[in-house]
Amino acid sequence: MSQHKPLKILFSAGEASGDQHAANMFVELRKRQPDINGLGMGGAKMAQAGIDIRYDSANIAVIGVVEVIKHYAEIRRALKLMQQLLTAERPDLLVCVDYKEFNFKLARYAKKLGIKVLFYVSPQVWAWRPGRVKAYGKVIDMMAVIFPFETAYYEAENVPVRYVGHPSVDKVHAQYSKDEDLSRFGLDKKRPIVGLLPGSRANEIKRLLPVMLAAAETVQAGLPECQFILPQADSIGDALLEAYIAKSPLAVTVIKNQPYDVIQCCDAVMTASGTATLEIALLSVPMVIAYKLASLTYWLGRWLVKTPFIGLPNIVFGQRIVKELIQHEATAEKLSAEITRILTDTVYADDMRNNLEQVKQQLGQGGGSKNMAQLVLQMLSA
């Protein structure tokens, strides 16, 4: 490793969760090697961490076949820009964070240039297309996985792999006590509190928030004392949320930049599928998972996906401990029925909390960002 020329890492993160993971990793890297340089594609969190953002990933943070097709031209433009950066900057390492298909193509390009590739957050090969393990093995130098059970898939194909721990274990901590948060958010601790987490992407908000608001109205009709709170994701603008909330007769408290403080106040949560479900599990709050995709994406998914679950708490636990309402099942009626049951059936709610505690234990002690920083430095020195 050179004593004079600062090391350079190109990061590629295409979604809000990847932006946060890359930012946390870079902060840990800078603690160990202050002169290390980072640049690439990402969002506000990476910029705050000191990474030079050359492309704002908010422009391409979409999910699903139909959505990708709609944004295809912009995604191609982003990929071309990142490929040009690889050629021009010649980084010492490319770190691809999630955003699987895009980053697979970018990794393949980097490999042709002789640039080392570290892929962080494994594609869900255990859910679909297990044959992809071999394909990824050809374009990466190391796969860093965030679930303990994932290593076996790569080891079976002799692909270098390292379990680094799930990053959420470290970051999911409220800043204040529950009583302090209830006071700060203007909530009454004697009345039930329901959280609405419709997602961190615009298309998720459009599909899920209207259904969640309708469900919340039904819950309140049966339990008039209910209070509703929504933690606004960094990637979602005020206008988009307001467009839906303004149409609802409900009083919904919207809180920015404090998701874990919001979640810990809740007695029950309606949430989109994704990383948020694991974060809610780590705070041991009962939930119901809802998800809606474009019809084509959904039917393709049903054909390809091999796992019986979509919710991460259920996948980690190995059985359904949280109800999943997917596509046509994600109705206001079914969401409200599950939230009402959680709020009124204490045995049911307590059993779910106990199972979520076990999910937390299975994920271990954390240290994901520190482990990633160590892995990066090992790869750079090899």
Q: Per the domain annotation, does 25 fall within a domain?
A: yes
Residues 153 and 186 occupy one common structural domain: no
Calpha distance 291→297 (Å, rounded): 12
Calpha distance 44→192 (Å, rounded): 34
Residues 210 and 352 occupy one common structural domain: yes
**What is the reported pLDDT for 26?**
97
**If you average pLDDT over residues 321-349, what whole number do you get?**
95
Residues 114 and 21 occupy one common structural domain: yes
Q: Per the domain annotation, does 159 fall within a domain?
A: yes
Residues 111 and 153 occupy one common structural domain: yes
Residues 291 and 334 occupy one common structural domain: yes
Q: Which of 235, 277, 231 has the alpha carbon at shortest distance from 253?
A: 231
Q: How far apart are the first and last CA of the chain?
A: 8
**What is the token pair recorded at 147?**
């679930």
Residues 129 and 222 occupy one common structural domain: no
Residues 376 and 358 occupy one common structural domain: no
- Global confidence as pTM: 0.74
Residues 235 and 344 occupy one common structural domain: yes
Mean pLDDT in the chain? 90
Q: What is the CATH number for 28?
A: 3.40.50.2000
The two beta strands, 252-256 and 161-163, are unpaired
Residues 108 and 215 occupy one common structural domain: no
Calpha distance 363→148 (Å, rounded): 8
Better pLDDT: 98 or 268: 268
**What is the reported pLDDT for 373?**
96
Q: Per the domain annotation, does 328 fall within a domain?
A: yes
- Domain holding 245, by residue range, is 178-362
**If you average pLDDT over residues 242-258, what whole number do you get?**
94
User: pLDDT per residue over 343-355, tens digit each?
Assistant: 999 999 999 999 9
Better pLDDT: 313 or 64: 313
Residues 182 and 325 occupy one common structural domain: yes
Residues 158 and 189 occupy one common structural domain: no
